[in-house]
Chain A
Amino acid sequence: MLIRTPKPWELPESAVTPERDYLLRPRRDFLKTLGAGAATLAAASLLPRHALATTAGFPTKVNTAFRDPALKPTAYEWITSYNNFYEFGSEKHEPKPNANKGWKTEPWTVEITGLINNPMKIEANDLVVKMGGAEQRVYRFRCVEAWSMVIPWDGFPLTKLIKLADPKPEAKFVTFTTLHDPKVMPGQRGRGLDWPYFEGLRLDEANHELAFMATGIYGRPIPNQNGAPLRLVVPWKYGFKCGKSIVKIDFVAKQPRNTWQVMAASEYGFYANVNPQVDHPRWSQASERVIGEGGAFGRRQKTLMFNGYEKEVAGLYKGLDLRKYY
Chain B
Amino acid sequence: MLLEKLLRSKAVIWALLVLPFIWAIWPIFRPSPSDADPLKSTLLHLGFIASILLAVVLTFTPLRILFPKWGVALALNRHRRLVGVSAFAYALLHLTAHVRHVYDGSFDTFFKEIQKPFQLTGLAAFTILFVLTITSLHVAVRWLGARRWKNIHRLAYIAVALVAYHQAAAKKLFPMQVVYIFGPLLALELARIIKQRLKTKAT
Q: Which residues of A contact B (CB under 8 A)?
A: 75, 77-78, 80-82, 86, 90, 92-93, 96, 147, 191-193, 260, 263-264, 267, 279, 281-284, 286-287, 289, 291-292, 295-298, 300-302
Say yes or no: B112 contacts A82, CB within 8 Å: no
Contact of A298 among B37, B105, B112, B169 (CB under 8 A): B37
A148 to chain B, nearest CB (A): 11
B47 to chain A, nearest CB (A): 14
Say yes or no: A147 contacts B37, CB within 8 Å: yes
Give A292 to B170 CA distance when docked, in angstroms: 23
* A283 with B113, Cβ < 8 A, contacts A90-B173, A264-B172, A300-B102 known: yes
Say yes or no: A284 contacts B36, CB within 8 Å: no
* A286 with B109, Cβ < 8 A, contacts A90-B173, A263-B172 known: yes
In the bound complex, residues from chain B placing their C-beta under 8 Å from that of A292 are 33, 36
Give A210 to B39 CA distance when docked, in angstroms: 33
In the complex, residue of chain B having the shortest beta-carbon distance to the beta carbon of A292: B36
In the bound complex, residues from chain B placing their C-beta under 8 Å from that of A260 are 172
* A96 with B34, Cβ < 8 A, contacts A296-B28, A298-B39 known: yes
B35 at the interface (CB under 8 A from A): yes
Say yes or no: A286 contacts B173, CB within 8 Å: no
In the bound complex, residues from chain A placing their C-beta under 8 Å from that of B84 are none
Say yes or no: B169 contacts A282, CB within 8 Å: yes
A195 to chain B, nearest CB (A): 13
B38 at the interface (CB under 8 A from A): yes
* A82 with B39, Cβ < 8 A, contacts A192-B173, A279-B112, A302-B104 known: no
In the complex, residue of chain A having the shortest beta-carbon distance to the beta carbon of B110: A284
Say yes or no: A283 contacts B100, CB within 8 Å: no
Contact of B31 among A147, A191, A263, A295 (CB under 8 A): A295
Give A284 to B118 CA distance when docked, in angstroms: 12
Q: A82-B34, A281-B117 are in contact. List 7 more A-B contacts (CB 8 A).
A: A82-B35, A82-B37, A296-B28, A296-B39, A298-B39, A298-B101, A300-B104
B14 to chain A, nearest CB (A): 27
Give A299 to B29 CA distance when docked, in angstroms: 16
Give A93 to B41 CA distance when docked, in angstroms: 12
Number of interface residues of B (CB under 8 A): 32
Say yes or no: B103 contacts A300, CB within 8 Å: yes
B32 at the interface (CB under 8 A from A): yes
Give A92 to B104 CA distance when docked, in angstroms: 23
B166 to chain A, nearest CB (A): 10
B109 to chain A, nearest CB (A): 5
In the bound complex, residues from chain A placing their C-beta under 8 Å from that of B117 are 281-282
A selection of 7 A-B contacts at a CB cut-off of 8 Å is A81-B32, A90-B173, A260-B172, A281-B117, A282-B117, A284-B112, A302-B104
The 0/1 profile, CB within 8 Å of A marked 1, for residues 21-48 of chain B is 0000001110111111111100000000
In the bound complex, residues from chain A placing their C-beta under 8 Å from that of B102 are 284, 287, 300
A94 to chain B, nearest CB (A): 9
Which of B66-121 touch A at CB < 8 Å? Answer: 100-105, 108-109, 112-113, 116-119
In the complex, residue of chain A having the shortest beta-carbon distance to the beta carbon of B32: A81
* A82 with B173, Cβ < 8 A, contacts A279-B112, A281-B116 known: no
In the bound complex, residues from chain A placing their C-beta under 8 Å from that of B35 are 82, 92-93
Say yes or no: A282 contacts B34, CB within 8 Å: no
Say yes or no: B33 contacts A78, CB within 8 Å: yes
A48 to chain B, nearest CB (A): 13
In the bound complex, residues from chain A placing their C-beta under 8 Å from that of B39 are 296-298
In the bound complex, residues from chain B placing their C-beta under 8 Å from that of A193 are 173
In the bound complex, residues from chain A placing their C-beta under 8 Å from that of B36 are 78, 81-82, 92, 147, 291-292
Q: Which of A96, A284, A298 has the most CB of B within 10 A?
A: A284
B174 to chain A, nearest CB (A): 8
In the bound complex, residues from chain B placing their C-beta under 8 Å from that of A281 are 116-118
In the bound complex, residues from chain B placing their C-beta under 8 Å from that of A302 are 104
What 10 A-B pairs have minimum CB-CB distances, sorted nearest first? A81-B33, A93-B34, A300-B104, A287-B104, A82-B36, A77-B33, A282-B118, A81-B34, A296-B28, A291-B36
